[in-house]
Amino acid sequence: MIVVLALVVLAALALVFMFRVARGHAKPADPQRLSQAIRAVDVEAFRNLIDPAEEDFLRKSLAPAQYRAVQRQRLRAAVEYVSCAAQNAAILVAVGDAARRSPDPTIAAAGEKLVDSAVRLRLYAFQAKGKLYIGILLPGTRISPSALVENYERMTGLVFQLSRLEYAARTGASSV
């Protein structure tokens, strides 16, 4: 019964969501007016907030509890910057999309490039925010995709070695 109720509620939520999307689709915004909503975001200030050298300096200079508090504040500020940049990118996707359909080939080509850059930023912002939130939860933790890959390869190598040893032990035991 609970499963049925849960599925019915999920179906209802999906329906409401789709109607909201449909309503948004019916009212396209004027891209020229939209571009007035773009806010300037200082990338230098953001760079400073996520600078590893700055982070190391703070870690050495402050007591652990103080370092964690300061680092969390810095990362929350960094999340705000990324969110703002991502919001600008969302506006620029709409602007670029409108430009892509321009009869002027120069504007159309520029629009194409704009959409590509803006979509890329939205994707990177999603990943970066995930990493920043992990940093807020565990300040000082460093997560690198390449380190994850290395660890995974090391782990699979160890599993392979182990299975070879087990096989050798079994065949050695059976021959005895």
Chain residues that interact with other proteins, rule: CB under 8 A: 1, 3-4, 7-8, 10-12, 14-15, 17-18, 21-22, 24-25, 28, 30-32, 35, 38, 41, 43, 46-47, 50, 52, 82, 85, 88-90, 92-99, 101-102, 107, 110-111, 114-128, 131-132, 142-147
DSSP state of 73: H
CB of 48 to other proteins, least distance (A): 11
CB of 116 to other proteins, least distance (A): 7
Q: Which is nearer to other proteins, 42 or 166 (CB)?
A: 42
CB of 72 to other proteins, least distance (A): 17
User: How far is Cα 68 from Cα 89, in angstroms, rounded to an integer?
Assistant: 31
For the chain, the distance separating the N- and C-terminal CA atoms, rounded to the nearest angstrom, is 59
Determine contact, residues 114/99, Cβ cutoff 8 Å: yes
Contacts of 114 (CB under 8 A, 6+ apart): 92, 95, 96, 99
Cα angle for residues 89, 93, 97 (degrees, 5° grid) = 165
CB of 128 to other proteins, least distance (A): 5
